[in-house]
Structure 1
């Protein structure tokens, strides 16, 4: 299921014309192969197993690599199976008006997207990440992007995503459960 959601998320993101490239950082070989198969650049996650903040450490590591060729970075979670290309394009367009911005998840507690334009990301993912990003100075973007806001962490989240309409890979995975 996780791999299917990643495929659908990457497929939607790949359709956004303003994204020059897509990079996936992961410790998982199957996820790396799927991402590479969809044309994404892949970075092996260098985060030590005992790292107390592995997601933010991985994002910061990816930022160091990606920032060598790009001053604008968009961090997108890989569990957005209902994401629509137009939603992400609109959110990125809105984000360009701010140096750092984010889109909260549908519950308002997590973060689906973090954007940095000409500045460092300073990721604050994890519990209550939307509040943490807001406190760090990132501007919250409030567009009507239900698929972008619908990350899947729980069965209830998957139900919400399915009501919006998930991508084909996730639909196949759900049908085979």
Structure 2
């Protein structure tokens, strides 16, 4: 990360409070285990992203102290999420805050979901390379409705994360990238998503957090 002349991407990851994240995993995990799994997925996502030569910096924006400490240990910059409670669009607001900071360093910004435990560095690298052909582009999730990554080269991100975000990003003019990147597309919302990630092969932190679960 940041060690070569081709490193020109400022990567942004927004993370909720761990206690509020991935509530659809609650039927299979205790609260403590669910928080540990969410944190582990963030660690594996940041670790994979940091291995991509094009990535100049990684910025994690979060209100969670534990997630912040883990991100710092991996070399990411951490921004405290200033979004007030009750904000109508907290995720996109957090991304916008981080984007303003990152754009002071580079005009090329990529938002990545923080729950991609099966992400392979080459997948993200290939998506970034494909995205360079467009000002704004995105990678949808494996279900075709969500967004795993949003890329912007020299223009604003205009993030539309949330319900049906793939459709919203498409309607906003972002180009859909269609590469075969199963780990990049496998963000985790449900137990079935986690099973698919394990089939693909999760990172070391997630594997440890899931030890004993079948």
Tell me the TM-score normalised to structure 2 length. Answer: 0.82
* Aligned with 1:87 (options 123, 126, 139): 123
| Structure 2 match to 1:98 | 134
* Aligned with 1:122 (options 158, 179, 184): 158
| Structure 1 match to 2:184 | 148
Q: Deviations over 1:14-61 (max 9, x none)?
A: 000011111110111011000000000110001111101110010011
Question: Is 2:169 the partner of 1:133?
Answer: yes
Question: Is 2:193 the partner of 1:157?
Answer: yes
- Give the aligned CA root-mean-square deviation in angstroms: 0.7
Cα offset, 1:65, TM superposition: 1.1
Partners of 2:207 and 2:77 lie apart in 1 by 25
Question: Is 2:80 the partner of 1:24?
Answer: no
Cα offset, 1:70, TM superposition: 1.1
Cα offset, 1:176, TM superposition: 4.8
Question: Is 2:38 the partner of 1:2?
Answer: yes
Tell me the TM-score normalised to structure 1 length. Answer: 0.99
Question: Is 2:121 the partner of 1:61?
Answer: no
Partners of 2:135 and 2:75 lie apart in 1 by 28
| Structure 1 match to 2:10 | none
**Corresponding pairs, count:** 177
Which runs of structure 1 show a deviation greater than 4 angstroms over 4 or more consecutive aligned residues? none
Cα offset, 1:68, TM superposition: 1.2
Point out where structure 1 has 5 or more consecutive residues left out of the alignment.
none
Cα 1:46–1:176 shift into 2, 3 Å: farther
